[in-house]
Structure 1
Amino acid sequence: MAAEQFSAVEVIRTKRDGGELSNEMIDWTIDAYTRGVIAEEQMAALNMAIYFQGMHRAEISRWTNAMINTGERMDFSALADPSGRSLPTTDKHSTGGVGDKITLPLAPLVASFGVAVPQLSGRGLGHTGGTLDKLEAIPGWRAELSNEELFAQLSTVGAVICAAGAGLAPADKKLYALRDVTATVEAIPLIASSIMSKKIAEGTGALVLDVKVGSGAFMKTEAMARELAETMVNLGADAGVNTVALLTNMDTPLGLTAGNAIEVQESVEVLAGGGPEDVVELTVALATEMLAGAGISDVDVRAALNDGRAMDKWRAMISAQGGDPDAKLPVARESHTVLAPAEGVLLKLDAMDIGLAAWTLGAGRARKEDAVQAGAGVRLHVKPGALVRRGEPIATLLTDTPEKMERAIELVQRAILIGSDSDRPDMRLILDRICAN
C-alpha cells in the first residue's frame, strides 16, 4: 500500500494555528476523507479549525474544486433545441427561506426566452421548504430523472426541475452530514464550497444566487449574507461560471403561502399573470439576471408572465415529468384561522415562526427520511404594512393531523406584531446585487 502524502494531524494543526493549506494538502484531504483514510473525528476537528480560522479565497476555490473532482461533471456545451440551435444554460440557487416557491415560476419563465434551465433542486429540512416536495404535490410528477432524460427534456422543453444525481460532488454529502452534527454548518467557507461544488459540477454556463437574509433565512444579518454571497460569486468566477447574487429579504415569508400544494397553486397564479407582487417582483428580477448571464438583455420579462408563454413552458415541463398540470391539488382535511389580536398596522409576520408553523403542521420534515403532507401549510391573508382590525383573519393553518394544530397556532400568534403607522417596517425585497471582484 502506497504511503499517504500527508497526515490528517498535520493538516489539522496547520489550519488550527492559522496557516494556509496548500493546494496539495487540500487535494489530499478531500480525497483521503472520501476514501475513508481521514477519520470522522479528524475531519470534525479540521472543520472546527476552519470555522475559527477561516480560509483565503484561493483555499476555498481549491477546496471546492477538490470536492467537484470526487464525482462527475455535467457538460451542456453540446445542448441544442430540435432545430439544431445551440442552447445557452443558466441556473438559480436560493439559500432557502419560507414561502420560497420562486423556482417554480422562474424556470419556465426563463426557458420561454430560448434559454435552457437545468434546475437541480432538493427537499426541505426544518423550517425551509423544498422545491421537490412542492412539485410532488402534483399528481404523477416525478423528481428522479436520468442524465439522458434530463438532456432530452432540456432540448425539447427547455426547463427541468429535478433531483440532483448522487454523482455530483459526493464528498459534499459526507461533509454536510458531519457539519450538521458538529456545529460547523455556519462556517462560510464550508457553506460556500458545499453549494458551489454542486452548482459548478452541474455544468451551467451562468448562475444567479438568491442569498436570503433575515429571521427566516440561514443568514440572520446582512453582513453575514453579504460575506457568503461575495464568497460564492468569487468561487463561480474562479471556475469560469458567470455568477451574480442578489441579497433578498427573508424577515417575512415570500408570497401568501408556506407549504407544498398551496405554494404550487400560488406559483401557477404568477404564471397566469397574477399572484402576490413580491413573488412576481423577485421572479422577474432573478429571471432578468439569469437571461443577462446567458447573453439576453433588453427583453420584457414580465410580459412573458402576462401573455401565456411562461405558462405554456410550465405545462410542458410538468407533463414531461409525468405530472398532470390540470389535476386538482391535494387539500388538507383540517383548517384553523388565526385572527388579529388588536387593531393597527401589521408590523411583523416573522418568517421563522411561520416556517416553523408550516413544518409543525406537516409541510416539512425533521429528518431526511420523514414524509411530508402535500396539503399542509400556512395561508396568509395579509402582509406587513397592512392595516388590520381586531378579529380580522391573519392566517389560515392547514393540516391532516389536527393534534399538531395547537402548537402551530401558538407559533403563528407569536409571529404577529401589530403597532402604529409610525413604526411601519422597511418593505424592500431586494437589498443589493453582488458581482465578482
Structure 2
Amino acid sequence: MSWGSRLSRAGIEQPTILQRAFQSNSLYFITSHGYQLPLESLHIQRLTSIPVIAAVIDFDNTDTAWRKYDAMTARELFKMYGCSQRLYKEVFEPAIQAALFAPGEQCSAAATLGMLYYYMLSHQENSDFLLCCGEVEEKILSPWLQLLEMEGLKFVANKVPSSMTIDTDSGCISAIVCGDDVYKADAFVSATGLSSLQSIVKNSPSLWSHREFANLLHLSAVDVISVKLWFDKKITIPKVANVCSGFDDSSGWTFFDLTSIYDDYYEESITVVEAEFYNASQLIPLDDDDIVSEASLHLIKCIQDFEGASVIQKSVRRSPKSVINFLPGSYKYTPRGSTSFPNLFIAGDWIVNRHGSFSKEKAYVTGLEAANRVVDYFGTGDFAKIIAVEGDEPYIETLRNLSRRANELKSQIPFSEFFLQ
C-alpha cells in the first residue's frame, strides 16, 4: 500500500477441501473445555461433513440458490446432510457464530453456504489471511483518508445522517439531512450498516413508501463487543487467531494475539489480546469492568496461563445492532446495490451481490460496485476494476454443472411445483 502499512501473514495454503474447511496453521477452534482442535481428534466425525460439500457445490450464489436454501436454518442443513453432533457443535457452529454472528438455528442456510463456499472453494490457492500489524485506523484508514483529501474530497466529521429528501419532479434523492444540516448532492451512496439505514428510512416517509426500503424494517441486527486487554506478563498463545465455542448457546467469540501481530507490542514483555463477542446483547448493559471480567474468565478457560496474569490496561468498545443477523427468510428483504432511486446506491457486506466475496472483501467489492454505478449514472469517469474471485477448479465446475442439470431435470417433472420445496 502506498502509505506504508504492513500486513502480517497468518495461515498457510491447505492441501484439500476438508483440511481447508477445518484446519489452519494460525486459526484454532477452541471448545468450552479449553482444548484446541486442529481436528485430528475428530476422525470419523470429519467424514460426516462430506455430504455437506454437495450442498456447497449446489449453492452457486444465484438468486435461485439463495431462495432454495434461505428458508432453512444452518442447523437444519447440517442435520439433513447427516453431520455428526460433535463436528457441528465444536467446528461448524463456532465458525457460523464468528462469521455470521449468531448460532446455527438463527442463521440462514443460504448465508452459511455462501460463507462456506468463500472459505472452502473460492480461495483454495490463498486460504491464508492477512492481519494488519497495527491499528487499522492508524495504519490504513487515516492515511487513506488523507490521500483522498489530497485528491479534493471533503469529509464532514461527527455528522449522523437522519433522513433523506426527494425531488418529486425528478424522482431522485436531492439531499441528506444530518440534524440541522442539509447536504445536497447529485448522487448518494449509503455505505452504512443496516441499523443506520433503517433509522434513515424510518425518518424519511418518501423512502419507506417504497417497498424495497420498507422491507429493510423486516431485517434485524445483532450486538458486538470488542475488548482489548493488556496483561502484565508474556503468555504463550499457540495461534494468533482463535474461534471459540462455549461462551453460551447463542453467542460466539474470537480472540487475537496482538502481541504477535502488532509491531508496537512484539518486543514488549506484556501480552495484548483483542476479543470480540458476537450476538452479545447480554453483555451490552454491563459496565466495562464486568465485561473485562467476563472476557478474562473465557480466556482462562482457553489458555490456563491467563489465570496468573493481571489486566493492566483495557479498552471496551460496544457496537449495538452493528451487524446484520442473517435470519432464515431474510434474503427476500435484503437490498441490492441499485435502488428504485436512480441516484441512490448501497454498499456493504450485508447487501445482495453476485461477486462471491464475503465479509470485509465483500464490503470493499460492493463499494467499488457502487462507485461504478455512480460513474455509469453520470456517464463520465473511470470504472474501478473489480477482480473476480477465483474460478472453480475443473472438477468443481463439472460437479456444479451436473447439479444444475439435475435441478433442471427435476423442475421438468410433472407436478414438481406442487410439492413444498
- TM-score between both structures, scaled by the size of structure 1: 0.23
- TM-score between both structures, scaled by the size of structure 2: 0.23
